[in-house]
Structure 1
Amino acid sequence: MKIVGVSGTIVGKKTSILVKAVIEEINSIDSSIETKLLDLREYDMQFSDGRSFELYNNDTQRIIEEMSSADAYLIGSPIFNGSIPAPLKNVFDLVKPSIFRHKVMAFVANGGTYQHYLMIENQLKPIAGYLRSHVAPSYVYANCDHYTEDNQIVNTELLNRIHTLAEEIVHMQKVLRSEQQA
């Protein structure tokens, strides 16, 4: 089983830290699960424009390949102006929608206020629905108060939500896998 975590921004650190925290929890729950962090800050991703796969640069091809080979997804997004950032939307545009069908998709997000969590409900979950993914019932939202000045997650409630989300992802994917093998 392979779970890909996407840090869906090319700026800042908090989203990547949040995605990595969930991935680390997944690994502590079941070390046999392969995990991969796709931190978009580390890729020279081209914009999706309908060209053939071979015509994209190597970094863009690697993103498509990693997403296509995953059994489940952890999507991380900062919230800019009440919305997901363009690089994350671009990832969804690069990958064929059928790749996401019947796979687990979970979400983490971070923003400046407590109210921004609604972006997960109003934007990310509908994307998962369109893609026919199985959405984890929980999600994790963090704001600036949940991090220390050096971007460490210290809020106990947030750490508990991270653990719960990791458990849900692992459980859902194992159940789906067992049903597919039956």
Structure 2
Amino acid sequence: MRYVFLNGSIIGHNTENMLSELQNQLEKQISESDSIQLIDLKGEKIPFSDGRNWLDNTGDTLKILKEVMEADVLIFGVPTYQASIPAPLKNIFDLLPEGAFYHKLVGFVVTAGSPKHYLVMKHQLKPILNFMKANIIPNYVFAHDSDLSGSILSSDDVSMR
């Protein structure tokens, strides 16, 4: 089983740290034949989607798209900016084909500055993932800024989720 964790932001550390903690917990539970990969969009050169076939991309873009397409399980790290999903993550979705997540289990870890931003994922991210044929994990992890001390998760409740 191939697990891919993708940090959907190019700035900040909260989401990256949440994904790293989740990765560490999952590594204790999976078999040795399974693999986990963390993709961080920071430092990657990914152009805006221009409608081309995903296989016609090159460099960092093609490498990331292949890793996503080859995954069995995808976990997206999603910070909430301006009550929306971040543009780098939406760009990845736009670069992929419509059925990119067919037969893939997809979940997400959300960080936000407002408790009300948990609705962003319900109204924005889930419809995109449904359109792309994902099998979405019904529950997701939502962490508010108050659940973090600096960039470190300090909430036992969020850790349990």
Give yes or no for TM over 0.5: yes
The residue aligned with 1:136 is 137
What is the CA-CA distance between 1:97 and the residue it aligns to? 2.3
Residue 29 (structure 1) aligned with residue 29 (structure 2): yes
Amino acid corresponding to residue 44 of structure 2 in structure 1: Y
Higher strand share: 2
Higher helix share: 1
Residue 45 (structure 1) aligned with residue 46 (structure 2): yes
Amino acid corresponding to residue 157 of structure 2 in structure 1: E
State the distance in 1 between where 2:139 and 2:55 align. 37
The residue matched to 1:107 in structure 2 has which SS? strand
- Calculate the TM-score normalised by the size of structure 2: 0.92
- Structure 1 residues without counterparts, runs of 5 or longer: 162-182
RMSD, matched Cα: 1.5
- Higher deviation after alignment, 45-54 or 65-74: 45-54
The residue aligned with 1:9 is 9
State the distance in 2 between where 1:36 and 1:146 align. 25
Amino acid corresponding to residue 83 of structure 2 in structure 1: G
State the distance in 2 between where 1:143 and 1:19 align. 15
* Aligned counterparts, 1:44-123, within 5 A: 44-53=45-54, 56-123=57-124
In the alignment, is the contact (CA less than 8 A) between 2:111 and 2:142 conserved in 1? yes
In the alignment, is the contact (CA less than 8 A) between 1:46 and 1:57 conserved in 2? no
- Calculate the TM-score normalised by the size of structure 1: 0.82
- Structure 2 residues without counterparts, runs of 5 or longer: none
Aligned residues: 160
